[in-house]
């Protein structure tokens, strides 16, 4: 058994598809925001599209030590033109704002300039808090992750339905 390569990169979804063809494994960072979007809006169109085209050699995640990435579902702004994302800029804004509302503002305190961090490609929030600690939605999200193409990876905080710890900011 030889060494295998697992690539961790936050980028446009088309780049993920291309990279997946060249390596053993890629992380599916588009899945977490798309599942949130689906649960928030009750519209699975974007998630269904992603599940049709997503790499099959992926490791699926909902939560990581990095929070919830949103750049992976956004448009590609590089080059002369702009390739559309899996979500529109307006849908991403609504997604982020809903995370802030569902987490009772804790994610806003832990993200971007409010937390003295320039990581604006992600929202610092546990997945459980991003769902407003709604157990039924959390179980649906995990079921979607486990049945999506790829191998599911559950971060230990997610396994324990962990909540935000704002004391870490101080």
pLDDT band with cut points at 50, 70 and 90 for residue 80: low
Q: Output the average pLDDT for the chain.
A: 88
- What's this model's pTM, rounded to 2 decimal places? 0.90
Q: Which residues of 30-49 are buried (b: 16+ CB within 10 A; e: fewer)?
A: bbbbbbbbbbbeeeeebbee
Tell me the pairing of strands 122-123 and 6-7.
Answer: unpaired
pLDDT band with cut points at 50, 70 and 90 for residue 111: low
pLDDT at 38: 98
Per-residue pLDDT at 106 exceeds 50: yes
pLDDT band with cut points at 50, 70 and 90 for residue 71: confident
Compute the residue count for the chain: 170
């Amino acid at each position: 058994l030889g060494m295998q390569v697992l690539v961790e990169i936050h980028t446009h979804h088309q780049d993920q598809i291309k990279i997946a063809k060249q390596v053993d494994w890629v992380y599916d960072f588009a899945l977490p925001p798309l599942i949130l979007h689906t649960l928030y809006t009750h519209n699975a169109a974007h998630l269904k599209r992603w599940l049709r085209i997503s790499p099959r050699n992926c490791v699926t995640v909902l939560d990581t030590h990095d929070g919830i990435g949103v750049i992976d579902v956004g448009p590609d702004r590089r080059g002369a033109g702009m390739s559309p994302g899996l979500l529109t800029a307006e849908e991403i804004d609504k997604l982020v704002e809903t995370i802030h509302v569902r987490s009772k503002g804790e994610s806003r305190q832990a993200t971007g300039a409010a937390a003295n961090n320039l990581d604006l490609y992600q929202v610092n929030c546990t997945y459980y808090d991003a769902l407003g600690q709604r157990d039924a939605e959390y179980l649906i999200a995990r079921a979607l992750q486990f049945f999506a193409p790829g191998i599911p990876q559950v971060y230990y905080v997610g396994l324990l339905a962990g909540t935000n710890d704002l004391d870490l900011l101080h």
